[in-house]
Amino acid sequence: MAKAGLAPLAIGAVLVAATTAPAPTPAAETPSTSDITLTAKITERHCFGSAGCNVSFQVKTAYSGPTLSADDTWLITYQVTGVDDGPIVGSFDLTGDEYTVGEESAGTKNAKSKVTIKVTGIDKVGI
């Protein structure tokens, strides 16, 4: 028996709670080659007159693209020019805003040779 002011529930009635679908996870940002600037910081130079020079350099990296997820790792491939014996190809991993690039060595024609570096490829690691 229902109390005054309350309506009885029908037998078999189902109470349905309102639910909201979860928001879709945004797609991970993908860096582009134009988002990454690489420069050669010469750390040592030993010249031998007309025989040219041996240089050691660090690859300095600047990133200006969208914020990257710390869960994604990207393989950045680059090419070094201005060195003897053709271009040097190297790579490093970029995870979020962290990366480690080692030191490189090469020969140049003379002390005025300019060593330049450009990004040639970006690939997601683990795909």
46 pairs with which residues across the strands? 54
Taking the model in full, what pTM does it have?
A: 0.74
Confidence of residue 11 (pLDDT cuts 50, 70, 90): low
pLDDT score at 74 = 95
pLDDT in tens, 83-93: 998 899 999 99
DSSP helix/strand/coil, 61:
strand
Domains of the chain: 33-124 (2.60.40)
Joined together, the tokens standing for residue 109 give 């024609």
pLDDT score at 9 = 47
Which are the contacts of 102, defined by CB distance < 8 A and separation ≥ 6? 58, 59, 92
